[in-house]
Structure 1
Amino acid sequence: MTIIAAADGSALGNPGPAGWAWYVDDSCWRAGGWPHGTNNQGELMAVLDLFRSTAHVPEQDLLILCDSQYVINCITKWMPGWKRKGWRKADGKAVLNVDLLKDIDQAITGRKYTFEWVKGHAGHDLNEAADERARAVAVAYQQGVAPRSGPGFPGASAGVRGELGGRPAGLQSHGAQPQEARPQEAQPQALASLAQGTRQQAPAGDQQSRTGRTSWPHSEPTLFGESGIFGQPDLFSELDEQTSVVPLSAEDTVLALEREMLRPEVRADIGRIGVLLHPDFAEIGSSGRFWTRDAMMMALEEDPGEPTELELLSADRLNEDTILLNYRSLAPAGAALRSSVWMLDRGQWRLRFHQGTSEQ
């Protein structure tokens, strides 16, 4: 028998009130979260708790539906190399979310599992159900009310049902009462940025294997050609906290987001990239290569690029929900002319399309 479950995470502000959930059906699901966490931490915790909740049935295969390429690649591709290097990346920097990853590494020992990537917010029933429950927990922490944890997996031990093991340091267990998020050390995500280290897009149908191993071919530099996409605290968190500040216009908000994406430390945070890139994001790079959202996020993981300045040429409102930015990017490697199309998606501006042309 194969257990088919979706796992998902949610963070309001990223970092901010965060939730995670896995879902098999309405009678078999579980959710939890923290007052302050990131989307990636939620995604990883959902997978970890699913393995722990099914530890009493190790003979059953697990098919995990996941919309996070970060999670899939961490578990099926990068972890063996990180372990050999003492949980450090190729650049020598410490792996982010390492406590969760170490717990997952222990939990998957001896288990038969397969990850299958599904597109988020695309109407997939199980993915939508997990997403709704993860977001509901994040909202509960935001509002200071008790979150719903769900019935859990039949036969799971009381310890699994009652506590949240393996949570990132400083984060509160889902079983405790929500409390106001307190200042703590920032916890950036381990993923990538739009930069000059590149990866080739995976061909359709090759994005996941049935053996629990997912492979992605490598290639040359990325299209955006500069720095990164994620920062902490992120733009939205700053705006939420500064309630006395006059709200930015849509054009100024989009321009601020574009500048944020040109910062290496932001581009190196895949959780933030996942917030800023539209689910249907595409890019045509200055090299002529076409990039999808997933291929771009994978390429940015290893090289967030260099610091880049932005010289705005124009900001045009194409319609109520779409803004076109034209600008010149100025980086040590050279200048380029760039165009970005930003779309309003469920109340948040997200980058839908980007194109760059190098200036000779």
Structure 2
Amino acid sequence: MPTDSSPAVVEIWTDGGCKPNPGPGGWAALLRWGGHERELSGGEAETTNNRMELTAAAAALEALSRPCSVRLHTDSEYVRNGITRWSTGWVRRNWRSASGDPVKNMDLWRRLLDASARHQIEWLWVRGHSGDEGNERVDRLATQARDRAAGQPQ
């Protein structure tokens, strides 16, 4: 991932999903920097859409070898709102929602916050299936990862 000699700005697209939800799921990320690209993907046999969306974002940020300026594109309002609006309150309330319930997917939210801490990140929401090339690409990769997790032939 970006080395000391490469530009510090990284464009990232992430996606995740399940079919059915819950069920087999896949996630994917596309990282672009300085004329380079890297694809990441994975899946789980039993998971949820939200867990796959969170995993994609965390894995992408964890792949960066040094602090970077990041523009992270996600089609998940859950991820974008959670990281930019809700997480501060969750942490302040000891990982409880405003209603006092434990935060769902707390393990992955903690992972994402840890992965985010060393980077300057602009969290961008993009409408899914709207022609955004990066989003369409990670959607295809996440679907392939989901199919592998479900044991479907490629």
Give the TM-score normalised by the residue count of structure 1: 0.39
Q: CA deviation at 1:33?
A: 1.2
Alignment of 1:189-268 (within 5 A): none
What CA distance in whole angstroms lies between the structure 2 residues aligned with 1:70 and 1:93?
A: 17
Preserved contact between residue 43 and residue 148 of structure 2 (Cα < 8 Å): no
Preserved contact between residue 31 and residue 60 of structure 2 (Cα < 8 Å): no
Preserved contact between residue 64 and residue 115 of structure 1 (Cα < 8 Å): yes
Q: 2:50 aligns with which of 40, 43, 61?
A: 40
Q: CA deviation at 1:19?
A: 0.5
What CA distance in whole angstroms lies between the structure 1 residues aligned with 2:142 and 2:92?
A: 33
Q: Which has the higher helix share?
A: 2
Q: Which residue of 1 aligns with 2:66?
A: 57
Letter matched to residue 17 of structure 1: P
Gaps of 5+ in 2: 1-7
RMSD: 1.6
Q: Is it true that 1:22 corresponds to 2:19 in the alignment?
A: no
What CA distance in whole angstroms lies between the structure 1 residues aligned with 2:116 and 2:139?
A: 23
Could you list the structure 1 runs, at least 4 aligned residues long, displaced by more than 3 angstroms after superposition: none
What CA distance in whole angstroms lies between the structure 1 residues aligned with 2:50 and 2:96?
A: 18
Could you say which structure has the greater relative contact order, defined with CA pairs below 8 angstroms and 6 or more residues apart? 2
What CA distance in whole angstroms lies between the structure 1 residues aligned with 2:103 and 2:88?
A: 12
What CA distance in whole angstroms lies between the structure 1 residues aligned with 2:76 and 2:38?
A: 22
Gaps of 5+ in 1: 148-360
Q: 2:20 aligns with which of 3, 13, 16?
A: 13
Letter matched to residue 75 of structure 1: I
Q: CA deviation at 1:106?
A: 1.4
Letter matched to residue 26 of structure 2: G
What CA distance in whole angstroms lies between the structure 2 residues aligned with 1:94 and 1:75?
A: 16
Q: Number of paired residues?
A: 144
Q: Which residue of 1 aligns with 2:131?
A: 123
Give the TM-score normalised by the residue count of structure 2: 0.88
